[in-house]
């Protein structure tokens, strides 16, 4: 890659923009402000490209088609929480955190600062593989953030006030900015997709006999009358022949699921990433959007194959319709005290995601003025689609009985901004990539009528596109 020499003008960052940044870095911050965030124009590039260039520590990517896209790396500041009251803690600490950020933009009004991150399926993640670096729920103000929305894109630099103490440190920040923006302009997109060939990799699946024993235990719990549905999860582990670059793996997963929400959360030695079809919620002002996604059938992902009979069977399946209705009921009952109105269809539609067709009911509403992102997180997570019904009781049963540590699988990932808006997705169709292994997760909703062998096949179908993204032949 050939870059302009220092001193030459950069197309993506003008001399005027650099002078603006230099002036903001040198200006004293008010005593109440702990962070400086400066937003500069950026080229309309893919967020994955930005992720390749920024510091790995707490890297983040979020790409939802037709909506805001984010990428970031490095840590300017962060909020970490643990415990059963984790969302209540966030409701107290995040607004306070945002109040200490001074924001400026070279063009127009500065965008509201954004915290990015996620939360585990349940509080109290133990330090076991592959979750050693994900034991706390964490939301980060990235040192370097890229935002793309509509027809514009921007880069935001956020630094703690301690970094502004000397001219030498401020000059280092300017040089860092110039190097990053030049690299972002000249980095070639073709380097994003890496050839991955693991056809002979070692893949460890949960034996079907152990799965059957677990489903028998779930059926016994449902027969007790305490539960109507419990979601069972399993994972497979791929021993890698060599260390893989996570952005190459991302590109292949994202290509496999183009209509899903794409996410990645980096730690020092591992990356949690996926392409999820399930939105937990989207809040913009008082507007709310969410959906129920439950009830699944497997079809061929060859577009030449007629799957109409399979889809019709799903739409008439009393088992799947009942499972779906539990999710709709629970979401609406939890949202009722937080909204002034809710709207949804009386019967579900279908949504195809590769080789699977799901029953889906979009739900929209008007929030009460006092309802916050944190209220929505506390009310909706975990949904019955990943936990069961009753939701909280089923989640507790899973934590006590499932022979798997879910960690952030079936948790939630997303973003919150200082204006009170946010968007979160349910972390499914996902995995963890470490230096030597890949861990792929999938789950299936179990009701009294569920068949262990069919649900084992369904979870395998959900893992399939992610395994193929790794190049695993099965």
| DSSP string covering 428-469 | -SEEEEESSEEEEEEEEEE-TT--HHHHHHHHHHHHHHHHHH
Residues 6+ apart with CB under 8 A from 248: 192, 193, 194, 196
Q: How many CB atoms lie within 10 A of CB 81?
A: 19
Residues 6+ apart with CB under 8 A from 21: 38, 40, 106, 157, 174, 177
360 token code pair: 């889906």
pLDDT of residue 296: 87
Helix or strand holding residue 145 (H, E): strand 137-149
Catalytic residue among 48, 133, 278, 455: 278
Q: What is the pLDDT of residues 386-443, one digit of tens each?
A: 999 998 999 999 999 999 999 999 999 999 999 999 999 999 999 999 999 999 999 9
d(CA 272, CA 198): 20
Q: Stretch 247-254: mean pLDDT, rounded?
A: 85
What residue has token string 């955190």?
A: 97
Confidence of residue 136 (pLDDT cuts 50, 70, 90): very high
The SS3 call for residue 87 is helix
Confidence of residue 184 (pLDDT cuts 50, 70, 90): confident
229 is catalytic: yes
pLDDT of residue 196: 57
What would you report as the CA-atom Rg of the chain, rounded to the nearest whole angstrom? Answer: 23
88 token code pair: 């209540």
pLDDT of residue 474: 53
pLDDT of residue 217: 98
Cα 370 to Cα 14, 201, 364, 367, 382: the distances in Å are 42, 52, 17, 8, 22
pLDDT of residue 121: 97
> Of the ranges 242-246, 304-308, 462-466, which one carries the lowest mean pLDDT score?
304-308
Q: Is the pLDDT score of 310 beyond 50? A: yes
Catalytic residue among 24, 48, 133, 229: 229
259 token code pair: 């209509």
pLDDT of residue 37: 98
Confidence of residue 194 (pLDDT cuts 50, 70, 90): low
Q: Stretch 123-133: mean pLDDT, rounded?
A: 94
Q: How would you classify the pairing of strands 35-41 and 101-105?
A: parallel
DSSP bridge pairs for 439 = 237, 432
Q: What is the pLDDT of residues 265-282, one digit of tens each?
A: 999 999 999 999 999 999
The SS3 call for residue 8 is coil
Q: What is the pLDDT of residues 2-58, one digit of tens each?
A: 334 444 444 567 889 999 999 999 999 999 999 999 999 998 888 988 998 998 888
DSSP bridge pairs for 293 = 360
pLDDT of residue 2: 39
Closest CA to 442 of 395, 410, 403: 410
Q: Stretch 135-143: mean pLDDT, rounded?
A: 96
pLDDT of residue 187: 67
d(CA 409, CA 134): 11
Residues 6+ apart with CB under 8 A from 296: 314, 320, 356, 357, 358, 359, 444, 458
Q: Stretch 231-240: mean pLDDT, rounded?
A: 94
DSSP bridge pairs for 109 = none
Residues 6+ apart with CB under 8 A from 146: 42, 45, 47, 50, 70, 71, 72, 153, 154, 155, 156
Give percent of the chain with pLDDT exceeding 70.
93
Q: What average pLDDT does the chain have?
A: 90
Longest dimension (CA), the chain: 74
The size of the chain, in residues, is 474
What residue has token string 């001074």?
A: 102
Residues 6+ apart with CB under 8 A from 425: 64, 261, 263, 276, 278, 279, 280, 412, 413, 414
278 is catalytic: yes
Confidence of residue 195 (pLDDT cuts 50, 70, 90): low
Return the exposure string of 82-102: e unless at least 16 CB atoms fall within 10 Å of the residue's CB, then b. eeeebbebbbeebeebbebbb
pLDDT of residue 303: 67
Q: Is the pLDDT score of 337 beyond 90? A: yes
Q: Stretch 68-94: mean pLDDT, rounded?
A: 95
């Amino acid at each position: 890659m050939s870059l302009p020499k220092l001193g030459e003008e950069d197309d993506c960052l003008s001399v005027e923009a650099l002078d603006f940044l230099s002036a903001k870095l040198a200006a004293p911050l008010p005593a109440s402000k702990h962070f400086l965030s400066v937003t500069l124009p950026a080229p309309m590039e893919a967020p994955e490209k930005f992720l390749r260039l920024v510091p790995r520590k707490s890297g983040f990517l979020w790409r939802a088609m037709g909506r805001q896209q984010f990428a970031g790396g490095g840590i300017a500041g962060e909020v970490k929480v643990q415990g059963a009251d984790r969302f209540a803690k966030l409701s107290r600490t995040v607004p306070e955190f945002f109040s200490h950020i001074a924001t400026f933009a070279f063009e127009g009004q500065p965008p509201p600062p954004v915290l990015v991150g996620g939360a585990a399926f349940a509080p109290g993640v133990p330090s076991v593989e592959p979750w050693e670096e994900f034991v706390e729920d964490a939301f980060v103000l990235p040192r370097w953030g890229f935002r793309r929305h509509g027809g514009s894109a921007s880069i935001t630099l956020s630094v703690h006030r301690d970094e502004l103490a000397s001219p030498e440190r401020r000059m280092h920040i300017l040089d860092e900015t110039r190097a990053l923006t030049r690299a972002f302009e000249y980095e070639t997109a073709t380097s994003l997709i890496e050839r991955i060939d693991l056809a002979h990799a070692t893949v460890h699946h949960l034996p079907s006999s152990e799965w059957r024993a677990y489903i028998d235990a779930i059926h016994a719990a449902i027969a007790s009358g305490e539960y109507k549905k419990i979601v069972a999860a399993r994972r497979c582990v791929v021993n890698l022949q060599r260390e893989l670059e996570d952005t190459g793996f991302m590109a292949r997963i994202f290509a496999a699921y183009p209509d899903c929400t794409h996410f990645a959360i980096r730690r020092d030695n591992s990356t949690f990433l996926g392409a999820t079809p399930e939105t937990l919620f989207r809040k913009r002002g008082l507007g709310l959007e969410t959906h129920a996604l439950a009830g699944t059938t497997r079809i061929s992902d060859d577009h030449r194959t007629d799957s109409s009979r399979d889809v019709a069977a799903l739409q008439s399946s009393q088992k799947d319709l009942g499972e779906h209705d539990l999710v709709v009921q629970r979401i609406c009952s939890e949202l009722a005290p937080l909204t002034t109105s809710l709207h949804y269809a009386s019967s579900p539609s279908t949504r195809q995601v590769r080789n699977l067709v799901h029953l889906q009911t979009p739900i929209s509403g008007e929030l009460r003025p006092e309802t916050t992102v944190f209220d929505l997180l506390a009310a909706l997570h975990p949904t019955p689609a990943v936990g069961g019904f009753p939701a909280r009781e089923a989640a507790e049963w899973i934590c006590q009985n499932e022979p798997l540590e879910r960690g952030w699988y079936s948790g939630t990932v997303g973003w919150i901004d200082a204006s009170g808006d946010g968007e979160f997705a349910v972390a499914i169709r996902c995995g963890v990539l470490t230096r030597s292994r890949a861990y792929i997760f999938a789950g299936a909703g179990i009701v009294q009528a569920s068949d262990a062998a069919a649900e084992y096949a369904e979870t395998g179908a959900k893992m399939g596109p992610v395994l193929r993204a790794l190049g695993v032949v099965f």
